[in-house]
Amino acid sequence: MSESDARELPETDEEWREVLTEEEYRVLREQGTEPKFSSDLIDVKGDGSFDCAGCGAELFDGDTKFGSGTGWPSFYDANDGAVELREDRSHGMVRTEVVCATCGGHLGHVFDDGPEPTGKRFCINGVALEHDEE
C-alpha cells in the first residue's frame, strides 16, 4: 500500500463500527469466521492484489491464490511484512491466526497443507479482503 492509498485508521471500537459493515466488523474485529463457500472471492483468479477490507493494506498477490476446495479464499504466501501470525487456542484447538500487520484485523488462519513453493495455505475470510484488479 502506498502512502497515497493509506487510510486513516479508526482509533476506537465505535469508529471501527462506523467504517465496517456488520459482517466485516464481526470477522475483522471480533475474530469471526464467515460461512464456507459464502465469499464471492473464492473463484476470483488472476491479476491484482487482495487488500485488507479494514485498512486497505495490500496483503496477498493474486498470483499466490489457489483453489483449495476448503470454502475460503486461499493463498500460498503473503506479501512481505503484510501479515502477522499469532497463536490461537480458541475452540479447543491450537492454530495459527493471520492478522493484518497494519490494523490488526483478523483475516483467518494459516496451515501447513498448501502447495509449493511454500507448503502454506493462508485460509482467509473473503469478507476481510477487497480485490484490487490492477
Task: Tell me which residues of the chain have a pLDDT lower than 50.
Answer: 1-4
- Residue 103 catalytic? no
**CA separation (Å) from 120 to 6, 55, 66, 86, 134?**
28, 24, 11, 15, 25
Tell me the CATH number for domain 3-132. Answer: 2.170.150.20
Give the pTM: 0.92
The three three-digit cell numbers of residue 20, written as one number: 465496517
Q: Which of 55, 100, 103, 123 is catalytic?
A: 123
Contacts of 84 (CB under 8 A, 6+ apart): 98, 99, 100, 101, 104
**CA separation (Å) from 100 to 106, 109, 117?**
7, 12, 22
Q: What are phi and psi of 44, to 5 degrees?
A: -75, 130
Q: How far apart are CA 119 and CA 126, in angstroms?
A: 21
Would you list the domain boundaries of the chain?
A: 3-132
Provide the 10 A C-beta neighbour count for residue 99: 20
pLDDT, position 91 = 87
pLDDT, position 47 = 81
pLDDT, position 2 = 41
